[in-house]
Amino acid sequence: MADPREVSMDSKALYREEIYTDRRLGTLRVMHPVTAEGAPDPGRTTIYQGEAQLMTNMGPLPISFDIDAKSLGDAIAKYGEAAKGGVEQALRELQEMRRQASSSLVIPPAGAASAIASGGLPGAGLGGGKIQLP
């Protein structure tokens, strides 16, 4: 991570953002490239990004996805298909995180079993715990 005292914006990677929504399904962000003076930067392409929410048992999960489009109308037409891809990607990532969490093994430090049996963990500084094994 960058040193917080050295944080600065990249003046060659600036965008002006416009937000569109149908107030029903989702949001579409149009990122127009601009120069440091705020003028349009014709040397870079406009970026179209969609946003939606996936409802989970933990509440809404925001989903962002790029839309390969040449215009706002094109992005609107491609929104549904791109949203499906974004949701599928998010679900794959959630499944992978669950898989990794469920396969995590907790390996106690060497000698922990004998220390517990004798009334405490080495280095605990308490002279043994209150839990005793028969």
> 120: Cβ–Cβ under 8 A, 6 or more apart, which residues?
126, 127, 128, 129
How does residue 79 score in pLDDT terms, banded at 50, 70 and 90?
very high
The pLDDT value given to residue 94: 84
Phi and psi angles of residue 117, each rounded to the nearest 5 degrees, phi first: -65, -30
Instruction: Give domain limits for the chain.
Output: 8-103
The pLDDT value given to residue 97: 87
Query: Which amino acid, one-letter code, is at 133?
Result: L
Q: Is 108 helix (H, G, I), strand (E, B) or coil?
A: coil
Q: In this model, does residue 127 exceed pLDDT 90?
A: no
Average pLDDT value over all residues in the chain: 84
> What is the spatial distance between Cα 87 and Cα 62, in angstroms, rounded to a whole number?
10
In this structure, the number of other CB atoms found within 10 A of the CB of residue 79 comes to 22
What percent of the chain lies above the pLDDT cut of 70? 77
**Closest to 80 measured CA to CA, from 107, 39, 88:** 88
> What is the spatial distance between Cα 64 and Cα 87, in angstroms, rounded to a whole number?
9
